[in-house]
Amino acid sequence: MSSIAFIGGGNMASCIIGGMVANGFDPQKILVGTPSDNTRQRLASSFGVKTFADNHAAVADADVVVLAVKPKMMREVVESLAPALSHQPIIISVAAGIPVAALEQWLDGSMAIVRAMPNTPSMVQSGATGLYTRATLPLEHRQLVDSMFEAIGYICWVEEEALIDAVIAVSGSGPAYFFLVLEAMQKIAQELGLPKQTAEGLCLHTALGASRMAIESGVTAADLRKQVTSPGGTTQAAINSFQQQGLEDMFRQAMTSAVDRAQTMSKDFSS
């Protein structure tokens, strides 16, 4: 089995590692480099992985190196790491806003680079990850990358790097949109007289059930909406109100703003 090194042991690295171990990856083939004693102890105790205080030691023989540090720290970490990567592992970055060209410049090499954009539901193995590479990955390498991220949920590959910005706007930031809607529904449910616990339970399980129906039914979201919207009924009244107030336009503007911000971040790192 290939050895996979993670540089950084924060939330996203932890959830990917947890999913991998739960899906049969050998924890002794997972290596983590992080300066934090507490993080190393937590990861070794939780998952049985090997941990290192020295990043160079972590990547020395790795077939894959996952860069899981904050974007603002990425250049310093990558430039420091570059001399230890002469064996040309696959590089996977899970940092938002850092383009392949910047990573290539900092690495000063010709390694295959994959950008991955997982989201926070990956922590409960229900994530959605967009993947991009401009390298030609051998089939076994692509299958390895697939299996790593399939361990934490749904994956898709995009053909153009610019589309990673759209992935960020849809699934990267998307959980926060749903949490915002849940916040509003729970608050208004209480205003309508429901106890707090009842309001939360109804809203959470409604969201869960709607998502499962959308995934499992094979029916489009538009058709599912129509099925539950009886003409002249209560749902029709609510839907009419949403549409009159421009719900779709609000989402369009919000998601376009997320794309714009991602593009700006990419330009900052490219300069």
Segment holding 67, helix H or strand E: strand 64-67
pLDDT of residue 17: 94
- What is the domain extent for residue 240? 174-265
Residue 220 has pLDDT above 90, yes or no: yes
Of 112, 175, 121, nearest to 140 by C-alpha is 112
How do residues 116-134 score in pLDDT, each as one tens digit? 999 989 888 899 999 999 9
- Domain finish residue from 111, 136, 162: 162
Residue 230 has pLDDT above 70, yes or no: yes
Please give the model's pTM, rounded to 2 decimal places: 0.90
Task: Please report whether residue 62 resides in a domain.
Answer: yes
Task: Please report whether residue 56 resides in a domain.
Answer: yes
- The domain that holds 216 is classified in CATH as 1.10.3730.10
How do residues 237-247 score in pLDDT, each as one tens digit? 999 999 999 99
Count: domains in the chain? 2
- Domain finish residue from 141, 162, 183: 162
Query: Residue 157 — φ and ψ, nearest 5°?
Result: -105, 140
- Domain finish residue from 117, 136, 162: 162
pLDDT of residue 271: 60
Residue 270 has pLDDT above 90, yes or no: no
| Whether residue 146 is found in the same domain as residue 208 | no
Whole-angstrom distance, CA of residue 124 vs CA of residue 262: 25
The pair of three-digit structure tokens given for residue 117, joined into one six-digit string: 């954009």
pLDDT of residue 108: 77
